[in-house]
Structure 1
């Protein structure tokens, strides 16, 4: 009986919110769209800032911290898009992002770092100013590449597509410029964040079954990589990819 009452109250609140949004859209369409654009762009800017932060961050704990915040901004942005365009499956996507990328994956990464005793600063192939310049060039390239699409699109999220593409490229750059295998995995996860953000910006999200499959694949991959890294570290006492490459050359 109590569950029925809760569901009834939820239905009333949801219906009231839907009517309020529709009324606001009809009465103040220009103002409403502007507010949505500003909030969406604000969240996209923070996602891009966390991507740049991860690109130059050398401490592993700081890297995981920034990845967690990027997942949080991504979850909030997905929920906002779902609310604006009235796509209920985006609420589930937002909840999945929150659980997976704000809670589970950071916990797994922190556990991995603690067990492997990776406390020193992680080295990069290039120096930080050079990496920053390449990152800025990738962002400019992303905006230039997406600008024709923005002119043709009528979606509310069209302004964030360039940021999504830039996030993917910055994650790839992070994978290329890092020497430690764990940081390369974080770069891969940051790339996946960018792809998810791009799907939300370009098409209001992927079908729910695909998103569930991708989330499950990422979780399984995280466990497999964790076990794999434990075996590598126990045998070679290092996760530096350059040292592992030298061992291969010696063999």
Structure 2
């Protein structure tokens, strides 16, 4: 099974690079959705393995919830939010795209050298999986920093959460069921709130510039 997990961790990392190279908001959402599909496959593989070995169905339930929330519902909410804002392409970045991609490469290298000697993850397979998933967290943070619009900030937050979720899965080979559900529910609530904020920013300022969030009043 480790070969499948290695491949999925690499694909998740590639999806983060694809996201970073995009400018269109609908491409942001599609990249996040593809990333979520990969996470659903990951939890499904772990769930099948757990079912065959121990007879547990917890991870299969988590897989179904990931499909429902991350693959279907959150992209639907984001698409609905994007229809209510005034732009479709982000033109203003703090850095240009080539520099952002180079920054992602640096993040992966930095993570590799930081974690490759860490006690407790000495297995080569675990190293690859955890290094890729921690890189996903940092790239999500970098994505948030590089974008000025609220939609980009929301997507960056979701990528960070994906990275945390996947890192926990790889490091523990399956989190407790209640922890999985708690994380997914928290993320759903956060996305709903951020979507409402993005709409209100656009409604008030005819912009979703994240720099104007500080001027938003309830």
Q: Give the TM-score normalised by the residue count of structure 1.
A: 0.78
Match runs of 1:80-95 below 5 Å: 80-85=45-50, 86=53, 87-95=56-64
Tell me the matched-pair count. Answer: 211
Pick aligned residue for 2:4 from 29, 39, 55: 39
Pick aligned residue for 1:143 from 97, 104, 112: 112
Q: For residues 234 and 131 of structure 1, what CA distance do their matches in structure 2 show?
A: 30
Q: For residues 115 and 216 of structure 1, what CA distance do their matches in structure 2 show?
A: 25
For residue 143 of structure 1, report the CA deviation from its aligned partner.
Answer: 1.4
- The structure with the largest alpha-carbon Rg is 1
Q: Deviations over 1:44-80 (max 9, x none)?
A: 1111111111112100111100100000001101211
Q: Secondary structure at the match of 2:101?
A: helix
Q: For residues 176 and 64 of structure 1, what CA distance do their matches in structure 2 show?
A: 18
Match runs of 1:19-98 below 5 Å: 36-85=1-50, 86=53, 87-98=56-67
State whether residues 40 and 157 of structure 1, in contact with CA within 8 Å, keep that contact through their aligned partners in structure 2. no
State whether residues 90 and 149 of structure 2, in contact with CA within 8 Å, keep that contact through their aligned partners in structure 1. no
1:171 maps onto 2:140 in alignment: yes
State whether residues 86 and 206 of structure 2, in contact with CA within 8 Å, keep that contact through their aligned partners in structure 1. no
State whether residues 161 and 201 of structure 1, in contact with CA within 8 Å, keep that contact through their aligned partners in structure 2. yes
Query: Using a 3 Å threshold, how does the CA distance of structure 1 residues 83 and 148 change in structure 2: closer, same or farther?
Result: farther
- Tell me the equivalent position of 1:10: none
State whether residues 143 and 162 of structure 1, in contact with CA within 8 Å, keep that contact through their aligned partners in structure 2. yes
Q: For residues 122 and 110 of structure 1, what CA distance do their matches in structure 2 show?
A: 19
- Tell me the equivalent position of 2:206: 237
State whether residues 108 and 135 of structure 2, in contact with CA within 8 Å, keep that contact through their aligned partners in structure 1. yes
Q: Deviations over 1:110-135 (max 9, x none)?
A: 00001224323343110111111111
State whether residues 40 and 66 of structure 2, in contact with CA within 8 Å, keep that contact through their aligned partners in structure 1. yes
For residue 179 of structure 1, report the CA deviation from its aligned partner.
Answer: 0.7
- Tell me the equivalent position of 2:173: 204
Query: Using a 3 Å threshold, how does the CA distance of structure 1 residues 150 and 118 change in structure 2: closer, same or farther?
Result: farther
Which structure would you say has the larger RCO, counting Cα contacts within 8 Å and 6 or more residues apart?
A: 2
Bigger mean CA deviation after superposition, 67-76 or 218-227? 218-227
Q: For residues 91 and 169 of structure 2, what CA distance do their matches in structure 1 show?
A: 32
Q: Secondary structure at the match of 1:57?
A: coil
State whether residues 13 and 132 of structure 2, in contact with CA within 8 Å, keep that contact through their aligned partners in structure 1. yes
